[in-house]
């Protein structure tokens, strides 16, 4: 990947504004065309710089897009207890956004519940169940 190739990818990601993206440094994979035919000529330090740049871009885009959810009520399929806060639940919207909200009586896994969003991060919506 040349610097021009990378910049084209970066510019396209900025233009498209994906909700989320999975990004990784290139690493050779045995059995692939690239492994057999293409030289890995990008230094590790440069791979790291490029990865950091697109991750930072995606975090900014994701948080900006998620901000549009603040004040809205979304339906959430409850998946279970939050991994980071024992008295909170988490689930997914129909657009696969992760939502975290405080536990409330009668709400459990596999239920759908309306949640009013009051704050966001790049990757998560936070709110209160409306029951």
**pLDDT tens-digit readout, 51-110:** 999 999 999 999 999 999 999 999 999 999 999 988 999 999 999 999 999 999 999 999
On whether the CB atoms of residues 112 and 75 are closer than 8 A, the answer is yes
3-state secondary structure of 127: strand
Of the candidates 102, 106, 109, 96, the one whose C-alpha atom is nearest the C-alpha of residue 128 is 102
Long-range contacts of residues 80-87, Cβ cutoff 8 Å, at least 24 apart: 80/109
Q: Are 65 and 17 in contact (CB under 8 A)?
A: yes
From the options 1.10.287, 2.150.10, 2.40.50, 1.10.3470, give the CATH code of 73-129.
2.40.50
Global pTM value: 0.83
Of the candidates 100, 88, 79, 93, which has an alpha carbon nearest to the alpha carbon of residue 20? 93
pLDDT value, residue 95: 94
Q: Where are the domains of the chain?
A: 3-66, 73-129
């Amino acid at each position: 990947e040349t610097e021009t190739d990378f910049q084209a990818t970066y510019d396209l990601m900025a233009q498209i504004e994906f909700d989320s993206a999975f990004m990784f440094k290139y690493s050779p994979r045995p059995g692939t065309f690239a492994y057999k035919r293409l030289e890995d000529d990008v230094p590790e330090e440069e791979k790291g710089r490029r990865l950091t740049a697109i991750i930072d871009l995606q975090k900014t885009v994701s948080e900006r897009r998620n901000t549009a959810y603040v004040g809205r009520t979304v339906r959430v399929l409850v998946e279970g207890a939050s991994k980071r806060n024992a008295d909170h639940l988490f689930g997914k919207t129909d657009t696969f956004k992760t939502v975290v909200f405080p536990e409330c009586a009668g709400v459990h896994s596999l239920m759908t519940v309306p949640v009013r969003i009051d704050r966001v991060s790049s990757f998560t919506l936070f709110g209160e169940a409306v029951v």
